[in-house]
Amino acid sequence: MGLLDGKVALVTGGGKGIGRAVAHMFVAEGARVAVTGRTLSDVRRVAEEIGSKAVAIEHDVTKRADWKNAIGYVKDWGGRLDVLVNNAGVVVGASFLEATDENWQLHMSFAHAIFMGCQEALPLMKQGGRGGSIINVLSSWGQRPVPGFVSYCSSRATAAMTTKVLALECAADRNPIRVNSVHPGITATDMTWNAVDKMSAETGCSKEEALTAFLSFNPIKRMAEPEEIAAAVLYLASDAAALVTGIELNVDGGSLIRP
């Protein structure tokens, strides 16, 4: 038996990195998964890798209409929704004085996306009274300030508080939807490598030096693999976490507790 036998999940940002790893792991544990993302070719590739238990949906999480379409598709395809993984995100570094309105609004649009996604998904998740799980994949940088990333840190912190408020509101139900967040540290994804490249180009340091600077936040001194983040998401999605709600689960090599 798999940890997610019979469950239906929706994973945003599923075309690569952490989202792709989550989708693969969920199906391996018995779930059917809707893999969504802004680039249809990416999510189609992941769905094809997985096979018949996955479906690809083109989905811009910053648009409510796309959320309505995605949830409607899942209802028709899967008949239910047990797990929502809000994984889509963006990071564009900027210091406080250099950050533009556009930079701020770009990052905040992904905090808003989590708000919209939960609002649109909850009615379907509540049908049947089975309970369920929402996991918001955020960042350890939303828990501790990082110079040069004011908009990103602020948006992740906003989403973390949204998670906790929703967890309290859902906990009052007889069969509650559990709501938690996972906070990766530096992870081997395209987003990380793009940030490393940007830092290298802007400062003139090598890519190795830029990566070392990023890992200075991490006592274990290595990046996480996407599958390591996916394993934390799987735990929170499963019935093994039936009494776990409102937590921030760090998978960050000890970044949050560093001196």
- Are 198 and 237 within one domain? no
Position 67 in a domain:
yes
Query: For position 207, what pLDDT does the model report?
Result: 82
For the segment 108-156, what is each residue's pLDDT rounded down to a tens digit? 999 999 999 999 999 999 998 999 999 999 999 999 998 889 999 999 9
- Are 142 and 157 within one domain? yes
Query: For position 229, what pLDDT does the model report?
Result: 98
- 188 pLDDT band, cuts 50/70/90, is confident
| Residue range(s) defining the domain that contains residue 52 | 8-185+225-251
- Are 53 and 124 within one domain? yes
Position 258 in a domain:
no
Does 162 score more than 80 pLDDT?
A: yes
> Given 67, 110, 141, 152, which residue is catalytic?
152
Query: For position 154, what pLDDT does the model report?
Result: 97
Does 199 score more than 80 pLDDT?
A: no
Alpha-carbon gap, residue 233 to 180, rounded angstroms? 9
- In the sheet that holds 177-184, the strands lie side by side as 54-58, 32-37, 8-11, 83-86, 132-137, 177-184, 248-251
- Are 211 and 151 within one domain? no
| Domain count across the chain | 2
- Are 109 and 65 within one domain? yes
- Are 170 and 106 within one domain? yes
Which residue has 């093994």 as its token pair? 240
- Are 159 and 65 within one domain? yes
Our answer to whether residue 152 is catalytic in this structure is: yes
- Are 178 and 216 within one domain? no
Query: For position 127, what pLDDT does the model report?
Result: 93
Give just the sign of the alpha carbon dihedral 157, 168, 176, 81: negative
Query: For position 231, what pLDDT does the model report?
Result: 98
For the segment 65-110, what is each residue's pLDDT rounded down to a tens digit? 999 999 999 999 999 999 999 999 999 989 999 999 999 999 999 9
- Are 174 and 162 within one domain? yes
- Are 124 and 245 within one domain? yes
- Are 247 and 174 within one domain? yes
Position 256 in a domain:
no
Position 138 in a domain:
yes
| Mean pLDDT of the chain, nearest integer | 94
Query: For position 230, what pLDDT does the model report?
Result: 98
Query: For position 68, what pLDDT does the model report?
Result: 98
- Are 110 and 130 within one domain? yes
